[in-house]
Structure 1
Amino acid sequence: MYAAERQQWLLNRTREAGRLDVAVTAEELDVSAETIRRDLDALERQGLLRRVHGGAIPADLLGFEPGISARDSVAAQEKERIAKAALEELDGATTVLLDAGTTTARLAALLPTDRELTVVTNALPIASMLAARPNITLLMLGGRVRGTTMATVDEWALDVLGDLTADVAFLGTNGFSAERGLTTPDRAEAAAKKAMLGAARRAVVLADSAKHGADQFVRFGRLDQVDALITDTGLTPDTAAALSAAGPRVVRA
């Protein structure tokens, strides 16, 4: 069993049972306890579960959501490949919506410098990154700032998005699956993401493969509302085909 497969198995087992014991699981999978601990640590950094003494419990039992500094170091190489692949989805667009997130921030850093773009974002880190770019007209959505993700949310952001039509929106997600679509832990942030989906002619979701099956508290979109889902090769071809059948073109970067 590959590490990604084992971690998905651990995540599913934790959610099914409500708790996972390191020693018992190591014996069941015939691996060392240290291997299981490393896997659980990796899943906690992604906000998918919470470590407790001797094992782990589902993250949503504690309302746990990691901050952007913790999430940025997780799956860094995969996020970089996803961001580079996402550049192909610009496809002549001149108006772009950029959702808050560590993968969308990597895309922001790669935006072309040889063409004029209007970028609308609710992410303070992305706005700070793009503010001095001479070829970019930057529009920052207002609203309450969530300290966890540094994203603006609530009515001030939603009111503006309701009046926009952008060429393409690039969105992040905390979880995706054929069954539950696109999900995130926070209701206010889900509302902002849903508004971005509705404000764009094309929607592209950027999500590393560890987020597959990691369904969160609030659904903000269906897969058939998405034109492309860009992930990494940790997602199996069979799973990619099943997701594609639900709506989006799936790219494994």
Structure 2
Amino acid sequence: MINIAERHQYILNKVQTEGSIDVQSLCKELQVSSVTIRKDLKLLEDKNLLYRTHGGATLNNPYTVDKPVNEKEHLQSAEKMRIGALAAGLIEDNDSIIIASGTTVLAMARCIKPKGTLTVITSALNVALELVHHNDIEVIQLGGLLRKSSSSVAGPYSDNVLGNVFCSKLYLGVDGIDLEFGLTTTSASEAQLNRQMISSSQKIIVLADSTKFGKRGFGRICGIEEVDHIITDSGISDQIKKGLESLGIKVSII
């Protein structure tokens, strides 16, 4: 049986090679109990060598923090524009859609070229301002408390409107996607609004660059199984892609 120092080095080597590890696999490989592995992971996390997650650990911090929208807009901007262009191409003639908040859905709004009359319901002020110049787009701006960090609204006023409509698609931006925990955002009130949007939509399309995978925000939106389609970039791992597709989720990579 290897000693604790050797066990810790094995764990660190594995997480550095694979990016993430799970407790059960480590138990089998090291022939120790799950209690021992969890203690090992805690000790290594206390030394800032990894981050514990539900059922395992990862090399990257899985927890997201809220950032101003003008700061987020410059992150992965090229990927967001390509994701947005593909998403905009899914809009059909005379469609009625919901666009949530976020810089990736804003990129999509900039790519929209309506076919016939398009109705857009949105919580995002920047999305509404982007679309208001199109004569063929009817924009319904949801009301509520304005979140300055995201330039979007949330609250009961928005919920009331969404409770009386039904749209073909929801284009949803998120702060985190975790196969076990689901979709998350940094705001509990925005997560609630997103859940109402999901209830008012036939198809859920998530726009997220690859840095969002394996992350968790404060507010849980829904389980990953509720998503119909995810559009992302080539930075997503094959393991995550296969995991999503095994759940019946369409994954488009730009």
The two structures have a TM-score, normalised by structure 1, of 0.76
- Counterpart contact for 2:92–2:115, Cα < 8 Å: no
1:17 aligns with 2:17: no
Q: Which structure is larger by alpha-carbon Rg, 1 or 2?
A: 2
- Kept in 2: contact 1:93–1:167 (CA 8 A): no
* Aligned match of 1:242: 243
The equivalent of 2:226 in structure 1 is 225
The residue number in structure 2 matching 1:28 is: none
CA separation of 1:131 and 1:241: change in aligned 2, threshold 3 A:
same
After the TM superposition, which parts of structure 1 deviate over 6 Å for at least 4 consecutive aligned residues? none
Cα shift at 1:223: 1.9
Report the CA distance between 1:87 and its aligned residue: 2.3
Question: Are the structure 2 counterparts of residues 88 and 18 from structure 1 closer, same or farther at C-alpha, using a change threshold of 3 Å?
Answer: farther
- Residue matched to 2:54: none
Counterpart in 2 of 1:251? 252
Amino-acid identity (%)? 26
**Partners in 2 of 1:202 and 1:243 — Cα distance?**
16
**Residue in 1 that maps onto 2:122:** 121
Name the counterpart of 1:99.
Answer: 100
The residue that corresponds to 1:84 in the other structure is 85
Across the aligned residues of Structure 1 and Structure 2, the Cα RMSD in angstroms comes to 2.7
Cα distance in 2 between the residues matched to 1:20 and 1:76: 30
Equivalent position SS for 2:138: strand
The answer on whether the counterparts of 1:177 and 1:243 sit within 8 Å (CA) in structure 2 is no
CA contact (8 A) 1:178 1:246 kept: no
How far is the alpha carbon of 1:238 from its aligned partner? 2.9
Equivalent-residue separation in structure 2 for 1:148 and 1:119 (angstroms): 22
For the structure 1 residues 137 and 179, does the alpha-carbon distance in structure 2 shift closer, same or farther, using more than 3 Å as the test? same
Give the stretch that moved more between structures: 99-108 or 240-249: 240-249
Q: Output the TM-score relative to the length of structure 2.
A: 0.75
In structure 2, do the counterparts of structure 1 residues 156 and 232 end up closer, same or farther at CA, with 3 Å as the change threshold?
Answer: same
Aligned to 1:156: 157
- The aligned counterpart of 2:208 is 207
Aligned to 1:146: 147
Deviation at 1:114, TM superposition (A): 4.3
Distance in 1 (alpha carbons) for counterparts of 2:239 and 2:249: 14
Q: How far apart are 1:153 and its partner, in Å?
A: 0.2
The residue number in structure 2 matching 1:167 is: 168
Note the residue ranges of structure 2 that are not aligned, 5 or more in a row: 1-14, 23-40, 51-59
Which residue number corresponds to residue 57 of structure 2?
A: none
Contact kept? 1:205, 1:226, Cα under 8 Å: yes
C-alpha distance 107-141 of structure 1, shift in aligned 2 (>3 A): same
1:2-51: CA deviations, max 9, x gaps?
xxx97x949x999x826747xxx9xxxxxxxxxxxxxxxxx9xxxx68xx
Separation in 1 of the partners of 2:162 and 2:116? 24
Q: How many corresponding residue pairs?
A: 211
- The 3-state SS of whatever aligns with 2:143 is coil
